[in-house]
Structure 1
Amino acid sequence: MARRNNQADGLPIAVLGLGRFGSSLAIELARDGREVLGIDADERLVQDHAEELTRAVVADTTDADALRQLGVPDLETAVVAIGDNLEASILTTSLLVDFGIANIWAKATSREQGRILQRIGAHHVVLPEHDMGERVAHLVTGRMLDYIEFEDDYALAKTIAPAEAVGRSLGESQLRSKYRVTVVGIKRSGEGFTYATADTVVRRGDVLILAGRTAEVERVANLS
């Protein structure tokens, strides 16, 4: 068990499983100033990340008594970062549900596993490999610099301004009415992102943040 002396903001977050996904998540949360309780049955993994987390403990995440001793039932948010061991993932998630944890996130390695975790009570299920594969596919096949897809076929994309918008205000180019996308932000070389308005004049090389339906966002991003 190890502690850091920093004072973190907000309620502690438990990360159960300190493999590649879990440790990356836990470390990022700690860097963001959150108090993080990391738990794993593998002593080596716990030792590897003990100095980076608020608290790191060797324990069996499927053992209800062990989790109670660590105060896990008193937390509001927990992440089950166990993807490869289906049984451990399900048992751990089930315990958190029984504890009444208000915000349970769980990692899955397949859609089938994700559905099981949702059925037993996980509030949020993430499929890191699948989600990253979809995201990279959109980047590889188009001119987008970055891409995030949400529910209901809605996406945000970062792309170089298309030629037909250069030298004109967004109101004049009518990207919104022609392509049914909204330019929500714009960035010029050497400057930070700013909100875009109808009066914003687009320059060559500007980076635009587009929002809209996935197919329409991709269509604008692929304009020459």
Structure 2
Amino acid sequence: MAKKQQTNKPVLVVGLGRFGIALAQQLVDQDKEVLAVDRHRSLVQKYADAFTHTVEADATDMEALRQLGAEEFDAAVVGVGTSIESSVLVAANLVDLGVSQVWAKAINPTHGKILTRIGCHHVIYPEHDAGVRAAHLVSGQMMDFIKFDDDFAIVKMRPPKALQGKSIDQSQPRKRHQVNVVGVKSPGKEFVYAQPDTVVNPGDTIVVSGDVSQLEWFADHA
């Protein structure tokens, strides 16, 4: 089977732990070219055919990164998580090489603070973020949850009773509940952006935006 033709600029992923593997695989699924780097030969061999390029190298060594052409990448992700020292060294090397967007995984706030101070553009807390997201999903109507920094969120959820069988104009979620219904997905039909005359049925899935506290109340009590 022929490989998909990659589009957009390639991404450098350092560290083939669970986080790095999942991230690299998703990038490949999005038709992006990925250079995956790890210092463990067994992991490099295991994932040799999974990504566009998979290379054995020690990214804490600046010269090794230069030989890989790391400075030519616009985006790099540091997925190293078992050693804070290694994570910081890799991230510092990528920043010093002038990579425009350096993303790095942090295992705790102190780690994240160090990464930020050495110049990382984006610090990710995957375990913390996953825990927060799961807390919103384990009960109630929410099916997916994305929170932004200012307590604004977008959620996918089952429609509460206040919306079922009514049009958006009739239920008026923005006026009555301070949330905005963005779109509706009915079973077997395409997603549609919500209009005043869009009717929400009990079996639908809706996408709603608003303040986190308002969304939580809306999902469980409306």
Alignment correspondent of 1:17: 15
Partner AA of 1:141 in structure 2: S
Alignment correspondent of 1:133: 131
Alignment correspondent of 1:148: 146
Alignment correspondent of 1:46: 44
Partner AA of 1:145 in structure 2: M
Cα displacement (A) at 1:72:
0.5
Q: Provide, for residues 168-201 of structure 1, a one-character-per-residue CA deviation record: whole Å limited to 9, x for no partner.
A: 2111111111111000010111112210011112
Unaligned runs of 5+ in 2: none
Alignment correspondent of 1:85: 83
In 2, distance between residues paired with 1:7 and 1:196?
35
RMSD after superposition = 1.4
Q: Provide, for residues 93-137 of structure 1, a one-character-per-residue CA deviation record: whole Å limited to 9, x for no partner.
A: 001110010011000111221111011111111111110000001
In 2, distance between residues paired with 1:6 and 1:66?
29
Cα displacement (A) at 1:223:
2.5
Unaligned runs of 5+ in 1: none
Q: Provide, for residues 140-164 of structure 1, a one-character-per-residue CA deviation record: whole Å limited to 9, x for no partner.
A: 1322111111110011111211212
In 1, distance between residues paired with 2:25 and 2:157?
30
Q: Provide, for residues 33-58 of structure 1, a one-character-per-residue CA deviation record: whole Å limited to 9, x for no partner.
A: 11111111000111111101111111
CA 6–188 in structure 1, closer or farther in 2 if over 3 Å, else same: closer
Alignment correspondent of 2:101: 103
Partner AA of 1:53 in structure 2: F
The secondary structure found in structure 2 opposite 1:94 is helix
TM-score relative to the length of structure 2: 0.95
Alignment correspondent of 2:178: 180
Q: Percent identity?
A: 45
Assess if the C-alpha contact under 8 Å between 2:141 and 2:159 holds in 1: no
Alignment correspondent of 1:73: 71
In 2, distance between residues paired with 1:125 and 1:131?
12
TM-score relative to the length of structure 1: 0.94
In 1, distance between residues paired with 2:161 and 2:4?
50
The secondary structure found in structure 2 opposite 1:164 is coil
